[in-house]
Chain A
Amino acid sequence: MTGSTARTVVEAESTTGDGTAVVVESLVKTFEDGGSSSRKQFTAVDGVSFIVERGTMFTLLGPSGCGKTTTLRCIAGLETPDQGTIIVDGRTFTSTTNGINLPVNQRGLGMVFQSYAIWPHLDVYQNVAFPIKALPRKRRPSSRETRARIERVLDVVQLSDLENRPATDLSGGQQQRLALARALVMEPPLLLLDEPLSNLDAKLREEMRFELKRLQRELGITTVYVTHDQIEALSMSKKIAVMNGGKIEQIGRPREIYDKPASRFVAGFIGISNLFAGVVSTAGPDNARVVETDLGTLRVRVFADMPRGTQVLAVVRPEQIELDTVSDGETEWVGSVRARAFVGDAVEHMVRMRNGADVRVKSSPTVSIPPGTKVQLRFAEEDCTVVPGA
C-alpha cells in the first residue's frame, strides 16, 4: 500500500518539468545467490521509483540489505538492472524496454565510495587529475586548464596545501575530501555518495555532515546520498526515501518522514516510536478517525485509506509525551514508572502501562519521577500518527 503512495507522490512531482535532474522508474535488480548450491535468486531492488529535483540532495535511507546501495550502483552503472529506467539530466542511462544501457565510464557522474577508493600509488594531485587524464586525447583540456580545474576543486575541499602528498599519507577525513574532489573535478550533473561518513569517528562525522551539506548547497550540485544513519538523512537531505527489503516505504521531506511515518517500518526506523495497537472505530469527514486502543481512545487525522475496522498502530514519539499525576478514577493512558535515566539533556522514563506495554518517554531534565509512581501519559492527538498494521 505504501508503494502506491510513493508512486503517486512521484507522479505528482514529475510535473515540475525540467526542475528534475534524475528519474528512476520501476527499478528491479536480482542477484544469484552464489554461495549455496541451489540457484536462489535474491531480489535486491524490487520496483523502486523516485525523482530528484535539480540542485537538491536526495537520500536513500534504510538498514543494510534494503537495496539502497544497489540502487545507487545502478544509477552509477556499476550494476545493470533487470528492469527499469534511469534518466539523468535528460540522458537516458538505462532503459530496459528499449535495450539501452550506457556503460559506466560514459555516464560522466561523480561518486564517492564508502571506502573512498583513493588510489594509493598516486598523490593527491594525481588522484584528482585521473578523470581528466582518462579522457580520450581529443577531448582533454590543455594542461593549463587541467591544472586550474584541479586546483580549484582542491581549494573547494580545502586540500590545496596537500597537493603533492601521497594519498596514503592522508587521514580518514582528508581521504574523504580527496574522494569528493575527484568526484567533483569533472563538474558532473550528479554526485553519488555511498555512506561516505560511516568510516569516520563520531566527532569528525558531525563536522563532515555540515561540511558536505554546505558544499552541496554552495555548488548547487544534485546529489543522491545513501546511508543507514537517520541523523545524516534527516539533517542533510531535502527529500528522503526510506527503503526496506528492496522497496521504498515512504518518500518525503525529513519532517514529514519523522512526524508522519507512513508505515510501521518507517515509524520504527526513524527516531524512537511508541506504538499503540488499535482499531478504527469511527470514520469521520476530512480523514478524521477514532481509534480504540487498549489504553485509551484517540481522535486523529489519517493520510491513507483506513475504513472502519482497520487494524492500526498509533505512533507517538517519546518527546511528545508528558507525564502527569494520576487522579483517582482515571483509567486511560495510565501506567507506572519502571525505570528512569538521566542522559544529560533529558531524563528518559520507561513506563509500564496497564496492558503490559512499555512506553518510552523523554522528559525535560528537571522532571524526574521515581520508579513505582503511577502516572498518566499526556500527548497531543495531532502529534499522533496512525499507520496501518497490527
Chain B
Amino acid sequence: MSTRLGETEQTFAVVSRRTRLRPTSKVVVLTGVVMIFAFLTLVPLGFLLWQTFTEGGALTFDAVARAYSADALGGMAVSSVTFAVGTAVLAVPLGTVLAYLTMRTDMPFKGPLFVAALTPLVIPGILHTIAWIFLTSPRIGPLSQLLAMLPGSPTIDIFSIWGMIWVEGLHLTPLVFLLMAAAFRSMDPSLEEVALASGASLPRVFTRITLPLVKPALFASILITGIRALEAFEVPALLGIPRGIWVFTSRIWRALERVPSDFGLAGAFAISLLVITSVLVFLYARLGKRSQRYQTVTGKGFRPRVVSLGRWKGPAVIFAISYVTVAVVLPLLNLLYISTQRFYAQPSLETIANATFDNYRYTFTHPQVLRAFRNSMVLGIGAATALVLLTAVASWLVVRSRARGRSAVDHLASIPLVIPGLVVGVALLVVYLRVPVPIYGTLWILFIAYLTRYLPYGMRYSSSSMYQVGSELEESAYVSGASWWYTFRRVHLPLLVPGLVAGWIYIVIVSVRELSSSILLYSPGNEVLSVLIWEQWENGQFTELAALGVVMVAILMVLVAVVRRLGARIGIREIA
C-alpha cells in the first residue's frame, strides 16, 4: 500500500487547552470581524449618549430639558406620528393591492406593472420630493394645471402634512409591494379557490380570505413604513419646514445647522427618536424573523395558480394605469421637461420647442458633478464590497459555528436598523470631532457611515445565503483535511456568491440614494450625488438639478435591470 497522504505525527495530536488561543487565521478573521461590527455599531451610540448626557464630565439632563421645553414640542410629536401613520395608511393598501394584482391575478401587463411598481425605489428620495414640488407648483406645475381644469378648480398644496404623507407614501409603496409580493408568492391558493368556487366575489375573497392569510406580512409592512417614515429626512425637510411642520429629523438637522451646532439638542432629539424606532423594530423583528430566514432568495418555490379577475379586470387595469401615471410617469416626465429648459417655467408648446441640452452638458462636464459621481461610485462600491466580505464571515459565525454568544453578533449587526440615517450622521460627527483620528473632512467618514447603515442589509443577504449552504458541505471539507480558512474560501464563498452578489448590488443602489447621513458628514469636495442635488436645490439651480436627476435615474434603472438578469441566471445555478 502506498504511503498515506496527510499523515500527521502523533505529537501533533496533543491539543491542550492553551492552544485554543493560538492565532490561527480563523481566530484572527473572526475576532477582527466582530471587533469591526462592535466598532461600527456601539461606538457611535456610546458617543451620542455621552455627548447628550454629560457636560464637562458630569451627568446632566440639560440638553434633554432644552429639547423638551420648546413650545412646539407637542406639535412635533403629533406631526411625527401623523406623518408616520398617514404614510402607512397610504402605502400599505396601495402596495398590497398592487402586489396582489401582480402576483395572484390574471391581470394583463403584469411585467410592466412590476417594473413600474418598483421604479420609485430607484429614485433618490430628494429627487422624488423635488419632482413632486415641481409637479404641484401652484399655477405652473402640470398637475396643478390639470386640476385647475376640473370643476371646482381644486388645488394641491404640497407643502402640508397631506403633501408630506402623499410623497412619502408613494415613495414607500414599492417597499410594501416587495414585502407583500413575497408573501403572496408563497401562499397556498387552495383556500381562495375554494371560496371563489363557492360563489364569493373577488373583493370579498380578497378581504375575507387572502388578507388574513398574509397577516404577518401585512403587519410587518405597516411597521416598516412607520419606521421609515419616522426616519425620513428629505420629505419633512423640503415639504414640512416651509409651513412650520416639524418632525424629529428636521429638528435634529436644524439643531446642527445652528451657528455653532447644538449637539446636545440634536442628541436629545436623536435619542428620543432612537427609543421609538427601537420599540418598533423590536416588534417588526418578532414578526418577520421566523418566516424570513428560511425563504429562498430566488423564487424557485412553487407558483400558485392565479385567480381570474373576471369583471374586475377593467377597474384593475384603470387602477394600475392611474397608479403608474401618477406615481411614476408624471413626476419623471416633468423632470425630463425641466431638464430641457433654461429656467423653471410652465410647460407649453413654446417652451418645449425651445428645449436645450445645456443642462446635460453641464451635468456631464462640470467638475463638481463629475466629482460627485466619482464619490458616489467609490463609496457605494467600496461599502458594498467591504460589507459583503465582512458579513460573509460574520454569517458563518452566526449560522454555522458553535461559538458561544454567536447570536450576539447577529444582534449587533441589527442595531443600525434602529438608528435613523440622520442619527448615524450626528453620532459619527460627535465621534470624529472628539477622537483624534483625522477622518472628518474626508470620504472615510462617509464610508464608515455607509458601512454602519447598511450592515444589517449585508447581514441579511449573507445569512440567508449561508443557511442554504448545508452544514454537511462544510463538514465534508473538514473531514477531507481542509482548514477553516481554506474551507471558507473554497467552499463557502463560491456557494455564497449568488446571494452576495445580490446583496452587493442592493447596497450599491441604496448607498447611491443615501442622503440623511451624507448631508451631515460631507465636506466640500466630498459631495455625493444626492447631496449635490440638495445643494443645487438650495442654490436654486432647478434645471441643472433636473438633468442630474434624470441621468441618475437612468443609470440606476440600468443597474437594477442588470440585477434582475443576473438574478434570473443565478437562480438556476442554485444548490438543488
A residues with CB within 8 A of B: 76-78, 91-93, 99-111, 113-115, 117, 119-121, 130-135, 139, 141, 168, 179, 182, 186-189
Contacts and interface: CB of A to CB of B under 8 A. Distances in A.
Contacts of B481: 105-106, 108, 131, 134-135, 186
Contacts of B575: 120, 168
B12 A106 contact: yes
B576 A102 contact: no
Given A102-B13, A117-B470, A168 B576 contact: yes
A311 B12 CA distance: 53
A77 B8 CA distance: 15
Contact of A108 (B8, B14, B15): B8
Interface stretch (B132-140, B268-276, B471-479): B471-479
Contact of B7 (A108, A110, A120): A108
A122 B97 CA distance: 44
Interface residues of B, number: 33
Nearest to B494: A121
Given A105-B481, A134-B486, A141 B13 contact: no
Of the candidates A111, A117, A182, the one having the most CB atoms from chain B within 10 angstroms of its own CB is A117
Contacts of A130: 477, 480, 482, 490
Nearest to B479: A111
Interface in B1-33: 1-2, 4-8, 10, 12-17
Contact of A135 (B1, B6, B476): B6
B470 A115 contact: yes
Contact of B476 (A77, A113, A121): A113
A321 B8 CA distance: 56
Contact of B576 (A91, A99, A120, A133): A120
Contacts of B13: 91-93, 100, 102, 106
Contacts of A182: 476, 480
A105 B478 contact: yes
12 contacts: A92-B10, A99-B17, A102-B12, A102-B13, A105-B480, A121-B494, A130-B480, A135-B5, A179-B476, A182-B476, A182-B480, A186-B5
Contact of A141 (B5, B472, B494): B5
List 10 tightest A-B contacts by C-beta distance, closest first: A134-B482, A131-B480, A117-B476, A117-B472, A104-B478, A121-B494, A111-B479, A113-B472, A105-B478, A108-B6
Contact of A78 (B1, B475, B483, B491): B475
A93 B14 CA distance: 9
Nearest to B486: A134
A134 B495 contact: no
B2 A187 contact: yes
Contacts of A101: 15
Contact of B10 (A76, A91, A103, A132): A91
A168 B479 CA distance: 21
Nearest to B495: A121
B440 to A, nearest CB: 44
Contact of B5 (A91, A115, A120, A132): A132
A189 B1 CA distance: 11
Contacts of A102: 12-13, 15
Contacts of B472: 113-115, 117
Contact of A134 (B8, B14, B477): B477
B573 to A, nearest CB: 8
Nearest to A101: B15
Contacts of B495: 119-121
A78 B576 contact: no
A100 B473 contact: no
Nearest to B574: A120
B483 A134 contact: yes
A188 B494 contact: no
A130 B17 CA distance: 30
B242 to A, nearest CB: 54
Given A115-B470, A120-B495, A120-B575, A134 B480 contact: yes
B14 to A, nearest CB: 6
B7 to A, nearest CB: 6
A216 to B, nearest CB: 15
Contacts of B494: 121
Contacts of B470: 115, 117
Given A131-B6, A188-B4, A76 B15 contact: no
Contacts of A179: 476
A182 B576 CA distance: 20
A135 B486 CA distance: 10
A101 B20 CA distance: 12
Nearest to B16: A99
Given A99-B16, A139-B5, A187-B1, A105 B10 contact: no
Contact of B14 (A76, A100, A131): A100
A358 B6 CA distance: 58
A77 to B, nearest CB: 8
Nearest to A104: B478
Contacts of A133: 490
Nearest to B14: A100
Contacts of B10: 91-92
Interface in B424-481: 470, 472-473, 475-481
Nearest to A141: B5
A186 B4 contact: yes
Contacts of B17: 99
A103 B15 contact: yes
Given A77-B478, A135-B481, 14 more contacts: A77-B479, A91-B13, A100-B13, A100-B14, A102-B15, A105-B479, A119-B473, A120-B575, A130-B490, A131-B482, A132-B5, A134-B482, A168-B575, A168-B576
B2 A78 contact: no
A111 B482 contact: no
B144 to A, nearest CB: 57
Of the candidates B13, B15, B494, the one having the most CB atoms from chain A within 10 angstroms of its own CB is B13
Contacts of B16: 99
B347 to A, nearest CB: 55
A187 B4 contact: yes
Interface string B488-520: 001100110000000000000000000000000
A139 to B, nearest CB: 7
A99 B18 CA distance: 11
A93 B6 CA distance: 15
A190 to B, nearest CB: 11
A132 B4 CA distance: 11
Contacts of A109: 479
A186 B470 CA distance: 24
B468 to A, nearest CB: 11
A130 B486 CA distance: 10
A236 to B, nearest CB: 22
Nearest to A99: B16
A78 B480 CA distance: 12
B341 to A, nearest CB: 53
B407 to A, nearest CB: 12
Contacts of A114: 472
A109 B476 CA distance: 10
